[in-house]
Amino acid sequence: MVVKRRYDATGRQEQARRTRRAILDAAGRLFVDPGYAATPLTAVATEAGVAVQTVYAVFGTKQRLLSALVDVTIAGDDEPVALPDRPFVAEIQALPEARAKLARYARHLVETHARQTDVMLALAGAATADPEAAEIWRRNVEDRRRGMGMFAAELVGTGQVRADQDVEGVTDVLWLAMDFRNYDWLVRQRGWAAGRFERWFVESVAAVVLA
pLDDT in tens, 96-143: 999 999 999 999 999 999 999 999 999 999 999 999 999 999 999 999
Alpha helices in 35-86 (DSSP H): 41-48, 52-59, 62-75
pLDDT digits (tens, 9 = 90+) for 150-206: 999 999 999 999 999 999 999 999 999 999 999 999 999 999 999 999 999 999 999
CA angle, 51 as apex, 49 and 54 as ends, to 5°?
Answer: 110
Domain shared by 115 and 155, yes or no: yes
Domain shared by 99 and 20, yes or no: no
Domain shared by 86 and 158, yes or no: yes
Q: Indicate whether 169 belongs to any domain.
A: yes
Domain shared by 113 and 52, yes or no: no
Indicate the SS3 state at residue 77.
Answer: coil
Q: Determine the straight-line distance between the first and last CA of the chain, rounded to whole angstroms.
A: 78
Domain shared by 195 and 93, yes or no: yes
For the chain, the domain total comes to 2
Residue 41's contacts (CB-CB under 8 Å, 6 or more residues apart) are 52, 55, 56, 62, 65
Question: How far does CA 44 lie from the centroid of its chain?
Answer: 21
**What residues make up the domain containing 39?**
10-62
Q: Give the separation between CA 136 and CA 107, rounded to whole angstroms.
A: 26
pTM over 0.85: yes
Q: Indicate whether 165 belongs to any domain.
A: yes
Domain shared by 53 and 87, yes or no: no
Task: Report, in angstroms and rounded to the nearest whole number, the Rg of the chain calculated over CA atoms.
Answer: 20
Q: Give the separation between CA 136 and CA 67, rounded to whole angstroms.
A: 6
